[in-house]
Structure 1
Amino acid sequence: MTASALAPPERTSVPIARSPMPTPGFPPTALDSAGDPIWVSDLASVEPNHTLHVVKGLEPAEALEVLGANPRLFRTCELPDAKADVWSSLVGKALGIEPGDSAALLAGRIGAWTFVYDDAGFTSPGPHTISLSADGSTAASSLDTINADASLSYAVNGEELAFVDVNDLDLGADLPGMPAELRAAFDAAGVFDDEDIAPGEVDHAIGMRVVCALAGLVCTLDDLRRITLTGVPFG
C-alpha cells in the first residue's frame, strides 16, 4: 500500500506528520511525542541526561566491561512495571539506585547488535564509541541532555568515522560525507514532524533514532522484557 492510499489518521498524542513518512524507519507507535524511540523514553527519567550505545558483534557483558563497568557487580535485570518517581529511571529502580548516587547501565542483545543504555550519561560518544568498535566491530553512540546538548559518534574498527553535534547538523551539507551505513540510518531516522522545527532543521531526538535505526532497535519495553538483560551500577 502506498502512502497516498492511506487515510489521514485521527490526531493522537503523537503529532500528525505533514509529510507521508517523516521518520520512515519508525512507525508512530515506536516514538514518543518528542520523537524519541519509545523504549528509550520509557527507560529514562522525566528529564534525562542519558546515552545509548550500540555495538555489533560484542556480547552485553563484553560491552559493559569495555565501558569500564565492574563485572563483579553485573546482575540479571528484570525491568519493573513503573519508575520509583520522576527523577528515577526504570533501570535505576530495578537496581535499587537512588537518583544522583551513580549511573545505572542496562545491556542486552537483539540480533547481531548489543545495546547499552546509560541513564545518567556518565559514558559518552567519542572515546567510548571508539573503544566499543575496537577489534573489527562497528559502534555508535548518542548523548542527549536536559541542557539540549545532543551528539552522535560512529566508529569502525577503533576509528571514529563521524562525530555529529546535532545542534549544528545540516543534513543537506553533512550527509553526503558520512559513511553509507550511517547515511542509511539517518534516512531511516528522518526528521520528526514538529511545528516548532523550521524547514531544513532537525529535531533534537534524531541522534537517538539514528542509533536505533542503525542497530534495528525499533522495539518496546515488552520486547526488552523478552530478552536477557544485564544491569550494573556505574560511577
Structure 2
Amino acid sequence: MPTPGFPPHTLDDEGSPIWLDELAAEDPNHTLHVVRGLDPAAALEVLGAKPQWFQACELPDARPDEWTSLPGAALGAEPGSSATLLAGRVGEWTFVYDDFGATDHDSTEALSADGRAAATSMFSINADASLTYAVDGKQLAWINVDDLDLAEDLPGMPAELRAAFTAAGVVEFDYLEPGDPDYAIAMRAACALAGLACTLDDLRRIPLLVTPLG
C-alpha cells in the first residue's frame, strides 16, 4: 500500500482515511471540506449552517445502526432526515465533514475567499469520487477520479495539491491496473492537504462542533 503520507493504522482496508470510515454510515454518501485559515464556526456558516444550532460535540463510542453516522448519532438525528455537519481544527486547517453529501464543490470557492486555500472531496454511494481545489476564491482544479491519470495529471496540478496527491499515493487492487488511482484517493488527498493523517481517537482530543445543515 504505497501511501507515503499516511502512517500505519490511519487507513482502512479500502484505502480510506480511518477516521472518515469510522465517522461514516456503513454505505457512505459524504463530503469532506478542508480550509486553511478559517475557524470551524465560520466554515460551517459558509456552508449554510445556522450558528444558533451549533453545539459542542462528544462523539459516541459507536454508531447505533448502519444508517447513522457518528456525528448524526451525537446530534440525535433520524437517519436520512438531513445532513449533519461535524467541524474541527487541526493546526492551520479546519475540516467540515458532511455525512449526507448535501454540500458540494459549489462551496469550495467561498471557503477559499480572502486569500485562503480550500478543497472539497466527495464520495457517493455509487462510488463517484471527485475533488475540487480553490485558492483566494478561484477554483484551480477539479478532479474526477474516474478520469484521473496520475502520470499525466500530477505535473499540471498546483504545487500544494500535487504534494497532497503524492502523499495520498495509490492503493492497489486486483480490479485496477498497477498505478491506477483507487476510489479513495481524493479523500486521502484532501486529508493529506490538511494534515489529517490521523485516527478518530486523535480527533476526539480536539474541540468539535456539530450541527444540522437544515
Same fold (TM over 0.5): yes
Higher relative contact order (CA 8 A, sep 6+): 2
TM-score range, shorter chain: over 0.9
Q: Write out aligned runs for 1:1-235 (5 A).
A: 17=1, 22-125=2-105, 127-235=106-214
Higher-Rg member (1/2): 1
CA RMSD of aligned residues (A): 0.8
* 1:176 Cα deviation after fit: 1.1
CA deviations 1:100-158 (Å, max 9, x no partner) are: 10000000001000000000000012x21111000110001100011111110000000
Aligned partners of 1:27, 1:193: CA distance in 2, in Å? Answer: 17
Counterpart of 2:63 in structure 1: which amino acid? K
Aligned partners of 1:165, 1:65: CA distance in 2, in Å? Answer: 27
Contact 2:54 2:211 in 1 (8 A): yes
Contact 1:170 1:200 in 2 (8 A): no
SS of residue paired to 1:36 = coil
Aligned partners of 2:158, 2:188: CA distance in 1, in Å? Answer: 17
Aligned partners of 2:197, 2:154: CA distance in 1, in Å? Answer: 22
* 1:199 Cα deviation after fit: 2.2
CA deviations 1:44-103 (Å, max 9, x no partner) are: 000010000000000000000001101110000110001010011000000000111000
Contact 2:172 2:178 in 1 (8 A): no
SS of residue paired to 1:28 = coil
> Which 4+ residue blocks in structure 1 deviate beyond 3 angstroms?
none
Counterpart of 2:41 in structure 1: which amino acid? A
TM score, norm. by length of structure 1: 0.89
Contact 1:133 1:139 in 2 (8 A): yes
TM score, norm. by length of structure 2: 0.98
Contact 1:69 1:232 in 2 (8 A): yes
SS of residue paired to 1:29 = coil
Unaligned segments of structure 1, at least 5 residues: 1-16
Unaligned segments of structure 2, at least 5 residues: none
* 1:232 Cα deviation after fit: 0.3
* 1:200 Cα deviation after fit: 3.7
Identity in percent: 65
Q: How many residues align?
A: 214
Aligned partners of 1:86, 1:76: CA distance in 2, in Å? Answer: 24
Contact 2:161 2:193 in 1 (8 A): yes
SS of residue paired to 1:51 = strand
Counterpart of 1:142 in structure 2: which amino acid? S
Aligned partners of 1:200, 1:111: CA distance in 2, in Å? Answer: 32
SS of residue paired to 1:65 = helix
Aligned partners of 2:170, 2:143: CA distance in 1, in Å? Answer: 15
Contact 1:189 1:209 in 2 (8 A): yes
